[in-house]
Amino acid sequence: MGAEQPNILPNIRPPFASGDNRAMGFTALETSRLLIRRFAEDDLDDLVEYRRDPTVALYQDWDLEWSLVDAQGYLEHSDEPELGTPGEWTQLAVVDRTSGRLCGDIGIHFIEAQPSTVEVGVTMSSEFQGLGLAAEAMRSVLVWLFSEFDLHRVFAHVDARNVPARALLTSLGFRQEAELQEADWFKGEWSTLCVYAILAEEWPQEAND
């Protein structure tokens, strides 16, 4: 990809600025079963537990040695950079409202090179998988992103072997746009990446109600 900046179309908001008030105003999102918020000290034990789970880490970029020390460092910098900073990822905690336990997290990446474009990702503890919670959390975040930021496009990359993640994205209305054959050197082998995306015009308006 070249370094030339794309033209900004008049019907699309310009790239996000660091400290964007729309992002800085974020406190939490609530669904019937979940609370989506910033990470807290009480989340760390659960975070370490599922990041060290081989089934959870299989298609993620961390290793199984991820420790409480790593989690503490992660928490210390969880607000840096600010949510909405172009080119940076922010992770939000997904918490079970009944037990108060951390059950996963959602990553949000405001793309620097393209206006009004966000990449997303989701990780769920194996204990909380199979309950529809990932879809519930993702839907809530997508509603917030599309309504608050007037996004043009949201996309995700997923390992072709990660069938549950691909099914999740399809259930949320994402289209598979590409399949990049053996394009990613990942954990000692070439892996195939699938690109899924949804445009604002494809996102059902009733989902925002």
pTM given for the model: 0.85
pLDDT at 19 over 90: no
User: Which residue is it, tokens 């690109």?
Assistant: 195
Q: Is the dihedral of CA 23, 148, 96, 63 positive or negative?
A: negative
Average pLDDT over residues 171-178: 97
Contact 108, 141 (CB under 8 A): yes
pLDDT at 27 over 50: yes
Residue 3 is predicted with a pLDDT of 36
Per-state percent for the chain, helix, strand, coil, to nearest 5: 30, 30, 40
Binned at pLDDT 50, 70 and 90, residue 84 comes out as confident
Binned at pLDDT 50, 70 and 90, residue 85 comes out as confident
Task: Write down the domain spans for the chain.
Answer: 21-208
pLDDT at 113 over 70: yes
173: left (phi over 0), alpha (psi -120 to 50) or beta: left
Residue 18 is predicted with a pLDDT of 44
Alpha helices in the chain (DSSP H): 21-24, 44-51, 54-57, 68-76, 133-149, 163-171
Distance, first Cα to last Cα, the chain: 38
Residue 10 is predicted with a pLDDT of 30
Three-state SS letters, the chain: CCCCCCCCCCCCCCCCCCCCHHHHCCCEEECCCEEEECCCHHHHHHHHHHHCCHHHHCCCCCCCCCCHHHHHHHHHCCCCCCCCCCCCEEEEEEEECCCCCEEEEEEEEECCCCCCEEEEEEEECHHHCCCCHHHHHHHHHHHHHHHHHCCCEEEEEEECCCHHHHHHHHHCCCEEEEEEEEEEEECCEEEEEEEEEEEHHHCCHHHHC
18 versus 9: which is more confidently predicted?
Answer: 18
User: Beta strand pairing status for 175-186 and 189-199?
Assistant: antiparallel
Question: Looking at the domain 21-208, which fold is it?
Answer: Aminopeptidase (3.40.630)
